[in-house]
Amino acid sequence: MKKKRLQELEQASQNPAIWEKPAEMQKIQRERALLEKSVEGWETLTGQIADAQVLLEMAVEESDESTFEELKSELQKMSKVVDELEMKSLLSEELDGNSCYLSINSGAGGTEACDWAGMLLRMYDRYANDHDYKCEVVAMTEGEEAGIKSATLLIEGPYAYGNLKTENGVHRLVRISPFDSNARRHTSFASVYCWPEVDDDIEIEIKDEDIRIDTYRAGGAGGQHINRTDSAVRITHHPSGIVVQCQNQRSQHANKDKAFKMLKAALYELEIEKRNAEKEQAAGEKKANEWGSQIRSYVLHPYQLVKDHRTDFESGNPQSVLDGELDSFIESYLKQQALNKKST
């Protein structure tokens, strides 16, 4: 089925009429990328299984220890591919394959909280790089002394939303403060929210009277991610309370277009959440992870531990997690959600 669909998309992409429709071409290319990854993974696995069978026969016939060792190596490669395919099977929701927006906001606590939000920004940037995702900062407000007050990232790549939606919630840091001359232990909070990028052909009505558009100069030092311009745009959607902003494009028009796309995606996600909430209410269930709940603690002092409070999954190496190694946390949460669905 997937191979057949991939062939259909390849034929469609070669149609000259599509070349004049960038939005349709982009949609085809996005679906192709998802299918190619899936088909490639399956073909890799079947090829490795065939090679392993040949090696096993050779090892048995010749009682060759070196061939057995080679077989062990092949089995380890197969195990990795199986894990990747299992992860993709957990990402079965309609929008899981999409790119996403991810916002980070510092909590109360001034410089401490801003520095923690900045650490999270670095963590997700490294996660994106490790997974060959394109990560772009579309808006950022820097802290007065360190870190950031807020930032919004556009993370582009197959299954970016499916993976990073697991990060929604409040993240807690416990450490000896580098900003405290008395070297006291501090607790800081920052919130993370992820929503999917949606196609332009999805119909979302945005009434002129429901929004306020403000323009402003991008603040802060900027750095490599931000183009300093006088054309930053902020859109407030009054009925939902959603606020989006974009400051990384060179023109006000481009920033406005991108901000509207972000708003459209956020409103679409809000509608999906409402539908899911209605389904859960009808089934007499409560949502386990509400916005604002503390999902994970990163403890750097008096011991070293990162713990996800939803799954109880732990890592004794906080530095590796802060360097972007989130796969185990993401996988454990997705598996738990899959089990919850099966049990209902």
SS3 readout for 56-74: HHHHHHHCCHHHHHHHHHH
Read off the pLDDT band of 83 (50, 70, 90): confident
Please give the C-alpha separations between residue 284 and each of 139, 292, 310, 338, in angstroms, as whole numbers: 39, 22, 20, 18
Reply yes or no on whether the pLDDT at 284 is more than 50: no
Reply yes or no on whether the pLDDT at 227 is more than 50: no
Mean pLDDT of the chain: 83
Coil, helix or strand for 7? helix
Q: Looking at residues 187-197, what average pLDDT do you find?
A: 93
Do 185 and 143 lie in a common domain?
yes
Instruction: Count CA atoms closer than 13 A to 43's CA, side-chain side.
Output: 8
Do 86 and 124 lie in a common domain?
no
**CATH of residue 268:** 3.30.70.1660
As given in the structure block, the two tokens for residue 289 are 């992870």
Query: Rounded distance, CA 242 to CA 247, Å?
Result: 17
Do 71 and 175 lie in a common domain?
no
Beta bridge partners of 150: 105, 141
Read off the pLDDT band of 281 (50, 70, 90): low
Is the residue at 211 inside a domain? yes
Spatial contact of 141 and 220, defined as CB atoms under 8 Å apart: yes
Is the residue at 256 inside a domain? yes
Q: Using omega within 30 degrees of 0 as the cis cutoff, is the peptide bond preceding 239 cis?
A: no
Last residue of a domain, one of 296, 319, 338: 296
Token pair 């980070």 is at which residue? 104
Beta bridge partners of 153: 102, 137
Query: 5 vs 257, which has greater pLDDT?
Result: 257
Cα angle: 184, vertex 119, 139; to 5 degrees: 130
Query: Rounded distance, CA 308 to CA 20, Å?
Result: 47
Is the residue at 287 inside a domain? yes
Is the residue at 337 inside a domain? no
Is the residue at 118 inside a domain? yes
Read off the pLDDT band of 1 (50, 70, 90): low
Domain containing 57 equals: 2-90
Reply yes or no on whether the pLDDT at 42 is more than 80: no
Domain count, the chain: 2
Is the residue at 323 inside a domain? no
